[in-house]
Amino acid sequence: MMDIFNSKEILNAITKRVGNVVSKSEKKIFLELFDANENIGVGTDSMGRTVLLLPGQSQVTSFETNFAVFDHWTNMTRAESDELVEGVALLTLKIEKNDSATIDAATAIFLGIIDLQKRFNRCGEAIWQMKNLFESGFKYQPSDENVTGLFGELLLILNSSNKNVAATSWHSDADDTYDFSFERFRMDVKTTRSGFRHHHFSSSQIPGPSNCTTQIASVLLHTVEMGTTLEKIFDTLISELSSNLGEKISESIIRQLGTHPSLISKPQIDLESSIRSILLYNSEVIPCVDLDERIISANWLASLDNVTPNNLDPSKIFDSLKN
C-alpha cells in the first residue's frame, strides 16, 4: 500500500522547530504534514512536542507514559488555519529533537502506524501494544529469543499454500501452549539460529493431547548481513491475507514484539534457505525425559539432529485443515 507520506517527509516534520506559529493553547497544533481526506497529519504542539494526528480510535482508551501521551478521541485546532478538527486521535511524543536515534525510531513508528490505519481503518490497538516502547523512550527492544521464535512461526505461514488457514490457526498470545491449533490439530514451532536442531520442549506440549495430531516444526534460521528482515515478512503477509486476517496477524505480531517490526533490523535471513530448512516431526518421536508420576511438569533441551522427520510437506501442512 502506498504511503501518504514518505519517511523523509515525516522525519522533516518531526525535527522541524515551530516558533510563534503555534498558539500557547494545548488544543492547537501545527501540522507540517496533513492529509484532509484521511485526517492524518504530523507536526508539533504548543509545547514543542511531536504529534501524530489520526482518525479517532473509539475501540481503545487513552493512556500516558513518561515519553508519550495518547488521546484516543479529542478535538484539535490547526494553528495555521484555526480550523477545528473533530473526532481525532492524537499521539504526542515527548522526545528530544536532537537525538537522531530516537527521531529515526519515531519516524519508523509513525510510518508503521499510518500504514496500519490506511490498511485496516484503525490503529489504536497497535498503539496500545507499543505502550512499553513509548514508556522507555524508544529504548525498549524485544529479546533475541522472542524475535527468533516469531521469525520461525511467520515462515510457516509465509511458506504455506493455504495462508488464510495457517493465519487463522496461528495463536494470538505468545503464552499459548501451541503456536498453531485447529480443532484436533496442534503444532509448535521450534526455531534456532545455532545451525543445530537443538530445541527446548515441555511436558505440556509433548506428546500432546491424546485426541489430537501434534506436530513439531523445526526451523534453522540462516542469518546473513543483508537479507530479509522481519518487517519485510510482516509486510508481505498482511498484503497477501484477507483484511481481517491481516489485521489479526499485524496486531499479534506487534503484541508479541511490543514494537513495530520496522524497528527490528536484526537478524536478517536468507529467506529461501531458511524456508528449505523447515522439517516436521511427529510428537511421538521427540526425545523425552522419563517422569516420575509425582512430577507435575518438566522442561528439557533435546537434539533432533539424528531424529527422522516425517515426510509431510511443510507448505501443505495446513491444507488438510480446510473446512
Residue-wise pLDDT for 302-311, tens only, equals 999 999 999 9
- Is the pLDDT assigned to residue 258 strictly greater than 70? yes
- pTM of the shown model: 0.89
Strands 68-78 and 180-182, by their bridges, are unpaired
Higher pLDDT among residues 293 and 249, named by residue:
249
> What are the helix (H) ranges across the chain?
7-15, 100-120, 124-129, 131-135, 144-159, 163-169, 230-240, 243-257, 271-276
Nearest one of 192, 167, 190 to 180, comparing CA atoms: 167
Give ∠ CA 221-242-321 in degrees, rounded to 5.
70
pLDDT per residue as tens digits for the range 127-172: 999 999 999 999 999 999 999 999 999 999 999 999 999 999 998 6
Question: Which DSSP helix (H) or strand (E) runs through 190?
Answer: strand 185-192
| Separation between Cα atoms, residue 187 and residue 219, nearest integer Å | 13
Strand partners, 199: 302
Phi then psi for residue 274, to 5 deg, are: -65, -40
| 185-192 β-sheet, strand order | 180-182, 185-192, 213-220, 279-282
Share of the chain above pLDDT 70, in %: 94
Structure confidence at residue 317 (pLDDT):
93
Query: Would you place residue 22 in the very low, low, confident or very high pLDDT band (cuts 50, 70, 90)?
Result: very low
What's the helix, strand, coil split of the chain in %, to 5? 35, 25, 40
Structure confidence at residue 48 (pLDDT):
87
Share of the chain above pLDDT 90, in %: 74
Query: Would you place residue 53 in the very low, low, confident or very high pLDDT band (cuts 50, 70, 90)?
Result: very high
Q: How many helices (H) and strands (E) does the chain have?
A: 9, 14
Counting Cβ atoms within 10 Å, is residue 236 exposed (0-12), middle (13-18) or buried (19+)? middle
Three-class secondary structure of residue 159 per DSSP: helix
Give ∠ CA 264-266-271 in degrees, rounded to 5.
105
Structure confidence at residue 50 (pLDDT):
94
Query: Would you place residue 322 in the very low, low, confident or very high pLDDT band (cuts 50, 70, 90)?
Result: low
Structure confidence at residue 172 (pLDDT):
63
| Separation between Cα atoms, residue 206 and residue 188, nearest integer Å | 10
DSSP 235: H
Strand partners, 213: 185
Structure confidence at residue 9 (pLDDT):
93
- Average pLDDT, rounded, for the chain: 90
Structure confidence at residue 209 (pLDDT):
86
Structure confidence at residue 18 (pLDDT):
60
Longest CA–CA span in the chain (Å) reads: 75
Output the nine-digit C-alpha cell for 30: 501545527
- Is the pLDDT assigned to residue 263 strictly greater than 70? yes
